Amino acid sequence: MAGLSPSIIKVTQHLLAEPVPGIKAEPDESNAHYFHVVIAGPQDSPFEGGTFKLDLFLPEEYPMAAPRVCFMTIIYHPNVDKLGRICLDILKDKWSPALQIHTVLLLIQALLSASNPDDPLANDVAQRWKTNKAQAIETARAWTRLYALKINLIIKYASLLLSCQDFFLFCLHLMDTQS
């Protein structure tokens, strides 16, 4: 971590030493200003069960300048646009150097539970959220299943394949012992 500002070193150490429940943040191996973040979709939200990848970047001016955070996982949310940018005041004009990255990540997770269609970044999604909330929530659930459950499915199928391999090896072992 040589050459990094003390603020970025402190953030990295804090994120690794005190992980936030439902949120995983790890520094990029090649650039310590970047963090790979994974946020679990909150319970009782349209995003429940989803695993959302985000990128977080701490600019040279941090903590005087806000971090840049972007969803990498496609999400149907009125406060997240198609490019993954997030409409959250603390990431813009309400940023304070006193805010911790833990707090930023928790507020992004909270935004998944309580969207704000009155301050949208995705106007079409916000309009649907206002005019037909049930349909908007169902679309958010469908997109979560489509885009944010892939990781979970890959892990599940990989685990299943390993179980099948173990079973196959067990059968081979039984056949050898029977001969």
Question: What residues are labeled active site?
Answer: 87
Residue ranges of the alpha helices (H) in the chain? 6-17, 101-113, 123-131, 133-143, 150-178
Strand partners, 56: 35, 69
φ, ψ of residue 87 in degrees (nearest 5): -95, 95
Q: In terms of DSSP bridges, do strands 51-57 and 23-27 run parallel, antiparallel, or are they unpaired?
A: unpaired
Question: What is the rounded distance in angstroms from the CA atom of residue 83 to the CA atom of residue 165?
Answer: 40
